[in-house]
Structure 1
């Protein structure tokens, strides 16, 4: 994994820095392999250190990539960082601005006496994770496979009278039984009128005949996430819900077919959005078509009306159009996909055929 540290050092060189301080959990995992809940990783032009407390010393030594020295601090992490910055002549330091609170920033300013300036370069650091390598894709695929198994099993659990929160609990239990660390985000189960809530996390509502049931969930496998949404029906849905389902499925399949390397995220979003708007649901699709998936459930690229970056081979993201009518109900269909030079590879295998239970 030395190429990941090389990426950080490229930023250091291009920006004229002496080092880069990595503190966010996703980037710490990506650049060091360490999964503990707290640490500070200092990468300089020649060295790399991960500073931890006693609780994590042994774990860090087992997990970190070659070329990273594990240091257990005694007085404080910042005091140790100060010593390291002084030793390695770090006068300008890159930091993760989104992760460093104001109080933490002030503490760094006060503690790191040799550092004269701090620069927020988190976006540049995050860019390293946009293109997935083969090992990452394998882990994402396994996370997707777990979610597919959970969907297959949960269909037997759905019936009138079952609470949304009980469905979510069962799904998250099954994820772990199938080998996941846990869910990649709080499981969304939204039924009946609540299915019109795009992020309607599971509540106490009981399923009823005629309900649409939106299930948006994902699993974490060895640090990588999956994301899938399926909408099923409890008993025969009314004609409007059937029309919505058909429209969303058509919009999703068209985006899958049209996706290509070099296309901007906003243009792919427009493929689905046009179909939904032309069907008469212009005010009913308020979120983006998709988002990147990796060590975080939401990361680059952005596939939305704001998605200006070009899509590239090796990107993993979601395709998830939806239609939501307040007080009535909604439908969303979502797959995790991999973009290749030949087009999209759909990692999710769960059926998108209409399911009436």
Structure 2
């Protein structure tokens, strides 16, 4: 059964899929301007303009309809008088107004395609394993690079090149390289300041393979991994190990998140771990399911999620340790397996 056939029984009315990653997931078409209408009976029509027409004609199992440049404007006429579901997370207010003005009755929906995407197929897992293996190789090589005296931006550029050299399509997101007080910002911006000795450097980066992402974070020591910095690192590592141990089919996202907080809160540092434990990974770097304090996601075998607790001491240093894992029948399998032993770099 293909993906459209799996989606159709979930629908109460035809669904107009406008999220471009969802269009790609359902049809294989990579486009900056496309939509697909899926009927509850299983029929599907793919809409795009001249630029993507040849590729669209090659898509099996769908009818292709070429539109002018503005697909939504064309759909307002083509679907006039019909009631269709739309993806609330992906359809802009302007596009919704265009459809309504054209006489289309819209029904808001959320998560219908994303629910399918959350459980990975064997081919998807293969791409994610390849991305994880490349990530391991690049992080191992990164640990052999000089850090001291180089800037965060220089190391990020090294990573950009390393992904290509290792066989990836490129980065899956802009790398975070952050030392000292910058490391205490979970989404730190790159700086051109030289990295000193005696600090921690958080590196959060990933690559893309056949459209599927890796996501991994390691924290490096510029100097001996001992003293106060080692204590903070070991505490974060224990939290990550506890989070990994809580992952299994049937586990609820908020409970997995809670397991990762026990050690940090016991050490009196709970206020310094201010984000969720993790998120799904696939065609998007951030997708379903989520591991957060408010998450009601129920894990299933085939989900791929990150496990990434962090400790952030404002104005001082930060630590984050992250692996990407696939949920298995009895736990989880790490897709990023580079060492989590403290790594000292020069």
Q: Give the TM-score band, short-chain normalised.
A: over 0.9
Q: Is the contact made by 2:4 and 2:42 (CA closer than 8 Å) also made in structure 1?
A: no
Inter-partner Cα distance in structure 2 for 1:200 and 1:150: 21
Question: Gaps spanning 5+ residues in structure 2: where?
Answer: none
RMSD: 1.8
Q: How many residues are paired up? A: 344
Which residue of 2 is the match for residue 68 of structure 1?
A: 62
Shift of residue 165, structure 1, vs aligned partner: 0.8
2:20 aligned residue (21, 25, 32): 25
Inter-partner Cα distance in structure 2 for 1:39 and 1:278: 51
Inter-partner Cα distance in structure 1 for 2:289 and 2:193: 35
Q: Is the contact made by 1:335 and 1:347 (CA closer than 8 Å) also made in structure 2?
A: yes
Inter-partner Cα distance in structure 1 for 2:327 and 2:181: 35
Which residue of 1 is the match for residue 121 of structure 2?
A: 133
Which residue of 1 is the match for residue 167 of structure 2?
A: 179
Which residue of 1 is the match for residue 265 of structure 2?
A: 277
Runs of 4+ residues over 4 Å off in structure 1: none
Which residue of 2 is the match for residue 337 of structure 1?
A: 325
Question: Gaps spanning 5+ residues in structure 1: where?
Answer: none
TM-score using structure 1 length? 0.91
Deviations, residues 216-255 of structure 1 (Å, cap 9, x unaligned): 0111111111110000111125622110111111111122
Q: Is the contact made by 1:131 and 1:315 (CA closer than 8 Å) also made in structure 2?
A: yes
Which residue of 1 is the match for residue 96 of structure 2?
A: 105
Which residue of 1 is the match for residue 53 of structure 2?
A: 57
The correspondence of residues 110-189 of structure 1 with structure 2, limited to 5 A, is: 110-111=101-102, 113=103, 115=104, 117-189=105-177
Inter-partner Cα distance in structure 2 for 1:91 and 1:207: 60
Shift of residue 46, structure 1, vs aligned partner: 5.0
Inter-partner Cα distance in structure 2 for 1:309 and 1:195: 29
Shift of residue 56, structure 1, vs aligned partner: 1.1
1:321 pairs with 2:305 = no
1:312 aligned residue (286, 300, 303): 300
Q: Is the contact made by 1:227 and 1:335 (CA closer than 8 Å) also made in structure 2?
A: yes
SS for the counterpart of 1:255 is: helix
Shift of residue 263, structure 1, vs aligned partner: 1.5
Shift of residue 185, structure 1, vs aligned partner: 1.6
SS for the counterpart of 2:254 is: helix
Shift of residue 349, structure 1, vs aligned partner: 1.5
Inter-partner Cα distance in structure 2 for 1:74 and 1:301: 36
SS for the counterpart of 1:207 is: coil
Mark the CA change 1:203 to 1:219 in structure 2 (over 3 Å): closer, same or farther: same
Shift of residue 163, structure 1, vs aligned partner: 0.9
Shift of residue 4, structure 1, vs aligned partner: 1.2
Which residue of 1 is the match for residue 250 of structure 2?
A: 262
Deviations, residues 90-132 of structure 1 (Å, cap 9, x unaligned): 7211111121111111111123x3x3x2112132332111111
Which segment is superposed worse, 191-200 or 37-46? 37-46
The correspondence of residues 172-321 of structure 1 with structure 2, limited to 5 A, is: 172-237=160-225, 239-321=227-309
Q: Is the contact made by 1:8 and 1:20 (CA closer than 8 Å) also made in structure 2?
A: no
Inter-partner Cα distance in structure 1 for 2:298 and 2:43: 34
Inter-partner Cα distance in structure 1 for 2:251 and 2:94: 41
Q: Is the contact made by 1:211 and 1:237 (CA closer than 8 Å) also made in structure 2?
A: no
